[in-house]
Structure 1
Amino acid sequence: MRPGPRTVALTAVVGGFLLGFLGFAWIKWVPYPFAELGNSTATWAVGAFAFGYWARSGWVRSAVGAAVLLVVAVPSYYLAATLMQGDDLAVVWASTSLLWMVFGVLAGVVFGIGGDWARGAGWRQVLGTALPAAVFFEEAARFARRANDPSYPSGSAWNVAIDVTLGLLAVVLIGRSNRQRALALAVALPLAMVIFVGFALAGG
C-alpha cells in the first residue's frame, strides 16, 4: 500500500534524524574498515534513494522528502557527536554544516527521484537502478586514489572491496531482470565517473 502524505513527511524527518544519529554511532563503535560506512557519502545518498523507492509518491514528493531526510541528517549527526564524545554543539550551525545541508538538498533531489524512477519502466527504471551502484563505485574510486596517501588509514583496499560489493548487490536487489541489471551496470560506470569528477571539482 502506498504511504500517505503525512506518513511520507514524518518518515523523512524521523528517517533523517536516525540516519545522522546512527551514522555517527556506527563510526564510533563499529571497527574499521566497516566504520567508514557511517560517514559514507554513498551510504547517505542510498538512504535518499531508499526513501524515494519506498515513498512511491511521484518524483516531486520523493525529491522533496529525500532532500528533507538528508538535511535533517546533518545536524543530527553533529548532535550525536556532541552527546557521544563531547564535541562543540556550535558545529551544528557552522558553515561546514550548512554546506553539507546544501549538498544534502542536491543529493536528496537526485537520489530521491532515482528511487522513484527505479519503480518505473523504460530508461528511467534503468537509470534509477544504476544510481546506487554508481555512487558506491565512485566512492570506491576515491578510496583507491587514497591507497598510497600516508595521511589516510592503511587498508583502503578493504573499503574499495566493500563499496564495489555493495554497488553490485544494489543492482542485484533493485533490478527486476538480468537484462535490466546488465543495463544498469553499464550505465552505472559512466555515472560513477561523472560523480567522481564532481567530487574532484568540489575538492572532495
Structure 2
Amino acid sequence: MVIKRMALAAPVAGVLLGVLDFVWIKFVPAPFGGLGNSIAVWAVVAFLLTFRNRWSLVVSVVGAVVCLVVAVPFYYLAATVIQNDDLSNAYNSTALLWMGLGVAAGAVFGAGGAIARTPGVPATTAAAAMAMPGAVLFAEAVIELRRIGDPSYGAGELIAYAGILIALGLIVTALVATSWSRRGLVLLISLPLTAIGYVLLSLTGFR
C-alpha cells in the first residue's frame, strides 16, 4: 500500500513541480522569480515530500528521485506549450544532466526527509536531517552574496534574493522542527551543512 501511494504521489509531485516551476519563472518578477531557477528549492521539495509522507528510507529515496527526475521533462514540456520552445529540450543532453542531478539530490534529500521523521533515530541525527533543507537554501544565499561586485549582477537584486532564500531557510526550519530548543539545535547544525552545501553547489557549476 505504501509503495502504491508513493508510485502515485511522487510522479504527480514531479509533474506539478516541473510545470509550476516554469510558470513561476515565466510570470513572477525578480527577486522572487529567481526561486524558479533554484536548485535548492527543488532539493527542499524532495525533502518535504518524504518528510510529509513518512515513507520508509528506501521508499523515500525512490519517491524523491522519481519526483525530481519527472519534474525535468515536464519543465521543458511546459516551456514548449507556453512559449513554443523546442520539444527536444525535454530529452537533450542538458535535460539528462539535470535528471542526473535530480537523482543525486533526490537520494540525499529524500533520505533526509525520511530520517528526520523516523522513530527511534538519535536526536542529533534527526536534527542533522532537519537541518538539510535550511542549509541548502542558506548555501545558495551565500553563492548569491558572493556575486556582489560582479558587474553582471545588480547588488540590490542579489541581496534581495539572498534575503528571500535565508527567510525560506528559517521558515522551513521552523516547520520541520517541533520546538524552539530543537530549532536552535537544527540551526546550529545547519552552519557546517551550509558550508558543505556551498561546496557541492559550486561543483555543479551553480555559481
| Band of TM-score, shorter chain | over 0.9
- Cα offset, 1:153, TM superposition: 4.9
The answer to whether the 8 Å contact 2:140/2:201 transfers is no
- Cα offset, 1:202, TM superposition: 2.9
Cα distance between partner residues in 2 of 1:20 and 1:147 = 30
User: Counterpart of 2:55?
Assistant: 57
Query: Among residues 193, 197, 204, which one is paired with 1:191 in the alignment?
Result: 193
| Cα pair distance change 1:4/1:24, threshold 3 Å | same
Cα distance between partner residues in 2 of 1:144 and 1:124 = 30
SS at the partner of 2:9? helix
The answer to whether the 8 Å contact 1:127/1:184 transfers is yes
| Cα pair distance change 1:9/1:153, threshold 3 Å | farther
Query: Among residues 161, 167, 172, which one is paired with 1:165 in the alignment?
Result: 167
Q: Which runs of 5+ in 1 are unaligned?
A: none
How does 1:31-180 map onto structure 2 within 5 Å? 31-120=29-118, 121=121, 122-153=123-154, 155-180=157-182
- 1:12-71: per-residue Cα shift (whole Å, max 9, x none)? 001001101100001111111111112211111011001111221211100110000000
Name the aligned partner's letter for residue 131 of structure 2.
A
SS at the partner of 2:137? helix
Cα distance between partner residues in 1 of 2:7 and 2:130 = 24
Count of paired positions: 202
Q: Which runs of 5+ in 2 are unaligned?
A: none
The answer to whether the 8 Å contact 2:47/2:113 transfers is yes
The answer to whether the 8 Å contact 1:132/1:167 transfers is yes
Identity %: 47
- Cα offset, 1:150, TM superposition: 2.4
Name the aligned partner's letter for residue 161 of structure 2.
N
TM-score, normalised via structure 2 length: 0.93
Name the aligned partner's letter for residue 104 of structure 2.
L
TM-score, normalised via structure 1 length: 0.94
- 1:105-140: per-residue Cα shift (whole Å, max 9, x none)? 010011111111121342221011101110110010
